[in-house]
Structure 1
């Protein structure tokens, strides 16, 4: 029975992500989530104590779904440790994040909503900071060129490239986006940083 409840909870959180991406935070009601999930009205309110709880769990679920699969992680572990590999890793990252369009748009909605909800802001701040720290730690363990500052600068640059791609996809062509990722790595991770 617990397994079914966990599956139902996950389906409701996934539905919340879809509603957030399509309707925004103001449109994410328990009723809208129930409708999106195809469950009886009142189901979401039985699983989540409040909208804040649902917002928080939706944010956590997006990060869960954005993680690379095991095959990708294994490939990264065996790749060369140079700027060319770094470029490929960043292209893969941009592609993976961009392919979960509704998840990333939901995260943007959650960030906007966090400006009005201190509890959500606290949770998102902790989650994003933990993600930055995990990226830095992974980078340091990987032996790739560059330092913590390079990782932070790439996070900032590539996040905005993803926002452009998802919200105004015609601003840059696919070829331009590829060149922008390459240029970001080459300009942020300098030749002195290369092993």
Structure 2
């Protein structure tokens, strides 16, 4: 696909109306910051008086969507959760960059998650229902700290991003378990073929 560029597919009137975003719907993307999503969702539930919010995420953003839902449930007391997983077919249009080539359409099958967080009780017989988090596990907004956006840091402490981690023998530079070099072994002598 080096000789093609992806172009925005023109949307029909029905598609543009169905994709209209409601105020309480939050679409999570891979580029968005976790802090921004959780702060906005908490303000909708606490300050703006919304009874329910809807989080939607597709593809690689699904993990982030689940993490954001869990963070919100630990900020706002008595939130019921209902989760549904679906999939969607997305068609991409590709225009040629060189003359003589025809436009191409490709279709991707993408997983999608929808998480509803509500102050009101939801259908508890639904497969994706989760009851509210106990009140003693819910903390106020200002008690949360963000360490690298809630994700493990990719860089260690030390120079040039290489960290001083723990090995089985204690502190020090080392390799992960199972990948350590065994320097105490002597090379085996070559096996001589027995002349018969």
| TM-score (structure 2 length as normaliser) | 0.27
The answer to which structure has the higher strand fraction is 2
The answer to which structure has the higher helix fraction is 1
| TM-score (structure 1 length as normaliser) | 0.27
Quick one: higher RCO (CA 8 Å, sep 6+), 1 or 2?
A: 1
Q: Look at both structures and tell me which one has the larger radius of gyration over its CA atoms.
A: 2
